[in-house]
Amino acid sequence: MSNILIIKHGSLGDIAQASGAIQDISEFYKGDNIYMLTSKPYFDFFKKNPYLKDIILDKRLSRFNLFYLFSLMRELKKHKFTRVFDLQNSSRSSFYKRILFPNVDNSIWSSSETTLPKDKSKEEFDKNPVLDRFKHQLETSGITIEKTMFPDFNWACSNIDKIKKKFDLNKYIILFPFCSPHLQIKKWPNYNNLIDLIQSKFKDEYKIIVAPGPQEISMTKEINAITILKEDKSLNISELATLIKDSSFVIANDTGPAHMAAHLGSKGLALFGSHTTAYKVSIERENFKAIQVTDLNKLSGEKVFEYFINSLH
């Protein structure tokens, strides 16, 4: 029995996308121990994943913090990993490779760099859709692919009956109108207009809700929707996953919850401006689609409402 390491620090959307790859690695190495190296926000969350034996915390302190770096490398070496799958593919994870396995190929350390097609630079390769990149990485590393292109995030869900009872949630539409402060280009400004259109047509048939992250709670007063919190705090990832899965429809900016919805099989729409494309981030699924425009500020509530009506049933 060998020990296998997967590296995935985040973010939330990236973790949802990587669920299929994690499952394929685990299924390929049945009988071996699969460990995950991740960051603090996802340490407890990954313990729910049925394809992982245990989780190792990376505090992601400065590389110049030699005491921490030595401590982490000692922890990783203790497990005597026979193979590493770097699904983060970041400069930090590449740095770890140079310390742990400086001269190995993809038979030991699988990453986008060690599996890079000979006719492409990494810059060119990274323009491919994210799930296509995972597929190439794992197949080049000898892994049989079944779930990588079809991530299933349902393992993340937990029971939220008490939350649904408190807010009397039966049929509801969930909106994710916020985004990181430094990524305002992702934010669509016309959610209240859309809410008015939905309520005008459906009256009280659907409740319209938002489930803000910790830094977004104060912003909910800008949106004419019911704010879902648990004891005045944001839902955790597992609770949020179930809230999304049980919804009638999801409408979101290009954020982590949109990617969760896509890989939970939820019906919904993600709104994309010029920051990237829905194609590149592999978000479109059978039930989850995207609206792509050059300028989100010019995307009307009427247009999104039209897409919503056509996709709802």
pLDDT over 90 at 183, yes or no: no
Looking only at Cα atoms, what is the longest distance across the chain? Answer: 64
Please indicate, yes or no, whether residues 125 and 217 belong to a single structural domain of this protein.
no
Please indicate, yes or no, whether residues 201 and 218 belong to a single structural domain of this protein.
yes
**Structural domain containing residue 226:** 161-312
Q: How far apart are the C-alpha atoms of 125 and 102, rounded to whole Å?
A: 22
Please indicate, yes or no, whether residues 82 and 196 belong to a single structural domain of this protein.
no
Q: How confident is the model at residue 91 (pLDDT cuts 50, 70, 90)?
A: very high
Please indicate, yes or no, whether residues 54 and 191 belong to a single structural domain of this protein.
no
pLDDT in tens, 292-302: 999 999 999 99
DSSP state of 222: G
Please indicate, yes or no, whether residues 141 and 11 belong to a single structural domain of this protein.
yes
Structural domains counted in the chain: 2
pLDDT in tens, 249-261: 999 999 999 999 9
Please indicate, yes or no, whether residues 135 and 97 belong to a single structural domain of this protein.
yes
Quick one: which of 16, 17, 23 has its CA closest to 6?
23
Please indicate, yes or no, whether residues 84 and 172 belong to a single structural domain of this protein.
no
pLDDT in tens, 204-226: 999 999 999 999 999 999 999 99
Which CATH number goes with the domain that contains 124? Answer: 3.40.50.2000
pLDDT in the model for residue 37: 98
pLDDT over 90 at 66, yes or no: yes
Please indicate, yes or no, whether residues 186 and 299 belong to a single structural domain of this protein.
yes
Please indicate, yes or no, whether residues 43 and 112 belong to a single structural domain of this protein.
yes
Average pLDDT, integer, range 65-93: 97
What percent of the chain lies above the pLDDT cut of 90? 95
pLDDT over 90 at 53, yes or no: yes
pLDDT over 80 at 182, yes or no: no
Model confidence pTM above 0.85: yes
pLDDT over 80 at 181, yes or no: no
Query: Which residue, chain included where needed, has tokens 């790859």?
Result: 21
For the chain, the average pLDDT equals 96
Quick one: which of 206, 209, 215 has its CA closest to 191?
209
Element (DSSP H or E) covering residue 97: helix 91-100
Please indicate, yes or no, whether residues 91 and 177 belong to a single structural domain of this protein.
no
State the CB neighbour count (10 A cutoff) for residue 57.
Answer: 15
